[in-house]
Amino acid sequence: MGSFFGIVAIGAGIYCVYGYLLMIRRREIPRGIMLPRDTDPKKCRDVDAYIRMTSLPLICVAVLLLLYGALEMVNQYAFPVGPALFAALLLCAAALIWLAVRTKKANDTYF
> Domain residues of the chain, as ranges?
2-110
CA 5 to chain centre: 15
pLDDT at 95: 98
pLDDT of residue 36: 87
Contacting residues for 75 by C-beta, under 8 A, at least 6 apart? 2, 81, 82, 85
Quick one: pLDDT at residue 83? 94
CA distance 2 to 54: 30
For residues 13-39, give the mean pLDDT: 94
Nearest to 106 by CA among 13, 30, 18: 30
pLDDT digits (tens, 9 = 90+) for 28-72: 999 889 998 888 999 999 999 999 999 999 999 999 999 999 999
Report the Cα–Cα distance between both ends of the chain, in Å, rounded: 40
Report the predicted TM-score, pTM, of the whole model to 2 decimal places: 0.92
